[in-house]
Structure 1
């Protein structure tokens, strides 16, 4: 674990000197020091970091919930649902079509629909933090789309599980989906009406007690969420949403900051450990086609979201590039597919696809002005700004 932290820190420092984002560097550290590459091997079994990796994901999404206030949900609920729904229709629909075109099988196509269609909450959060865009106007629709994605994912996973297991049938799928939806509704009601009570329960002047309290709440609810068939990430997000509106919200945000950064690095490092570079050449062309498809669908959905919120080409570009990343949920689907005995090409495909986008998304988000120039209205706005900058 110490080696993992140090390797991530060293690579991040080197990358920072040449302007590279930290996410792909943390992943690269995991690849280089994992069991699938020659040289030093820190961990023979990537599952040894499974609990710490899960904690990193919980803390990343918990922090995201702290930033995303309930007032934002109330004010932009309809726009958020519309933007999120269109994002899912474009990306999940494209993923399903791509899966059928590949011809690997119907169950495989359903897995690919989720892999290609759902953005990575963890990487999106890290991009927003690294680029200091948490307070940017386009961050609200980005977070809104992430919330809609996660709600869809909870229901999608519940429906997909009995299909992959070939055992329980439609009744079990509906039961599991209803259980997941009911738990999400319970969390939403607690966030909406229980803020005052939660504020009294969490309030303390002692920082040590406050850290223990919010960390216990986030991890516990994440675990219960997973038991109900809801992604643990969305459970942690909902706890952050509740606590962010309390009187202790600002203090919690400061206290969780170093925990988020440390264990977030472990999350991406552990992801790198699971990637075997030797498997990637066999699925190179499908990966590149899927990446191109994802870029196209994200640009289209970003333009639509920007139009819904009345934003310009730069905000549309920021939305498109930030949401491009795929990560932890794709890996969950890869695990399910492997357990169900689906096509053996799925696992290396998902690993390669996620790795490419985990590198591409932070780089593209940091240079989103390049995309903004070629979007409709981008050139016009650039010329207007040049005129304003020229003295009379």
Structure 2
């Protein structure tokens, strides 16, 4: 067991290297995901040179948290209504994708001739997308509001649900289940858990809202992080993907009134732990083993690109999209990642062909580079799809015409006054939430400036020493607003009990 100090240095160094590579790659439009994985490969135990983490298992827990926060954030972004409103067309597109890719993977596994059990494992390795990388690609390319994103998410969610069946059915192959009865019990437990979470997401949001309806952001962060991690662990204990457990918690909290604030608070957790997740993935890759199965890796990559593109075209035709949207669907779900590696590890532990691990490593790394690059450059990658295959995009209602005047104006002309407030050292405004200022009606908190960054003021915004914030008010309310601000400056939250002067 390495010393805790060694692990801290390794983890910190990994984050620094990932950050530097991402900064360099950002100048050239290179996605961060493959850069993080390449960093893990270069500084891992199987590559000559500097080794930051001699034992990849030392970062297992931190990497797992990365997966949890990536999926939790995705759940926050999309409500249950968005995921279930696609109807038959969305279900058809996701089913076609699974049939093409998992079915093609099964045929490919048998064609390799490594064994029947190996073929069933390979079907999952080459047939299931990486939900974590798909999430990251969507967020990085700012496509959360695009119409085709709902199709992509429908595919990802159906894949995760399919995994409950697939893993349970695979247990006899891997030696985990003694008979069919045990497999059926596992399937029943997993789906009972999923149905319970869907019911909470649909009917229990009011109760869940009470857990996070507090003004103190520290408490909110502690509560939602605890919920996401605990539910992910419980999901895995019940035979469901931990990813879908975290996603469902995000889905539940995303239906509450605090969803917008939760997204802001989750951003840094998602980015930091997500970087460790992809770095950890790179640590597990052994270059020599990958070279030995290079022909098999190349054929698997070509097959997957073709099948994913076909699935994207079919989904686009079902929804009336053009070839850009078809390329977005096909290339975004093209990536493979965490689940493929998990399957490879299970196969190795069960004594199946050891080449499966090397095949999965090389295959996943190549697609993790090709997929985000193609999905991020749709103007070019969409040209690989003949327009006649997709057909013309369905006509959509034109956006509303904008009839507005843009110009400059003084506050005097607008009939308003602007108050600029500095939270000076010693001021009891420090720690107070905007809602606790109890400003007179007709007074609007507008903008917060903190450390050179600006953000809109909300009722839950908490003031700190050094902040500057702006408030708009009507001229006749200016004196009353200033009096109230001075009272809170002198007495903080006790101003309500010490009079309007705060003394």
What is the TM-score when the length of structure 1 is the normalising length?
A: 0.95
Distance in 1 of aligned mates of 2:202 and 2:172? 33
Structure 1: state its 5+ residue gaps.
383-392
Is 1:118 matched with 2:146? no
- Conserved? CA contact 2:375–2:381, under 8 Å: no
How is 1:98-117 mapped onto 2 (pairs within 5 angstroms)? 98-117=108-127
Shift, 1:220, TM fit: 0.3
Shift, 1:317, TM fit: 0.7
Secondary structure at the residue paired with 2:297?
helix
Answer 1 or 2: which has greater helix percent: 1
Shift, 1:378, TM fit: 6.6
How is 1:99-178 mapped onto 2 (pairs within 5 angstroms)? 99-165=109-175, 168-178=178-188
Summarize deviations over 1:267-319 as a string: whole Å, max 9, x none: 00000000011111111011110001100111111111112222111101110
1:317 — aligned with what?
Answer: 327
Distance in 2 of aligned mates of 1:194 and 1:115? 36
Is 1:298 matched with 2:308? yes
The correspondence for 1:239, drawn from 236, 249, 257, is 249
Larger radius of gyration: 2
- After TM superposition, the structure 1 stretch with the greater mean CA deviation from structure 2, 174-183 or 335-344, is 174-183
Shift, 1:346, TM fit: 0.4
Shift, 1:94, TM fit: 0.2
1:350 — aligned with what?
Answer: 360
The structure whose RCO (Cα within 8 Å, separation 6+) is larger is 1
Distance in 2 of aligned mates of 1:381 and 1:109? 39
The correspondence for 2:79, drawn from 69, 72, 90, is 69
Answer 1 or 2: which has greater strand percent: 2
- Conserved? CA contact 1:60–1:264, under 8 Å: yes
The correspondence for 1:52, drawn from 53, 58, 62, is 62
Distance in 1 of aligned mates of 2:176 and 2:328? 41
Distance in 1 of aligned mates of 2:176 and 2:164? 20
Secondary structure at the residue paired with 1:25?
helix
1:249 — aligned with what?
Answer: 259
Is 1:274 matched with 2:287? no
What is the TM-score when the length of structure 2 is the normalising length?
A: 0.74
Structure 1 residue runs of 4 or more that deviate by more than 4 Å after TM superposition = 378-382
Shift, 1:178, TM fit: 1.3
Q: Give the number of aligned pairs.
A: 382
Distance in 2 of aligned mates of 1:75 and 1:68? 11
Is 1:337 matched with 2:347? yes
1:390 — aligned with what?
Answer: none
2:5 — aligned with what?
Answer: none
Is 1:3 matched with 2:6? no
Summarize deviations over 1:293-351 as a string: whole Å, max 9, x none: 10011111111111222211110111011010000110110111011010010000000
- Conserved? CA contact 1:313–1:378, under 8 Å: no
Structure 2: state its 5+ residue gaps.
1-10, 394-503
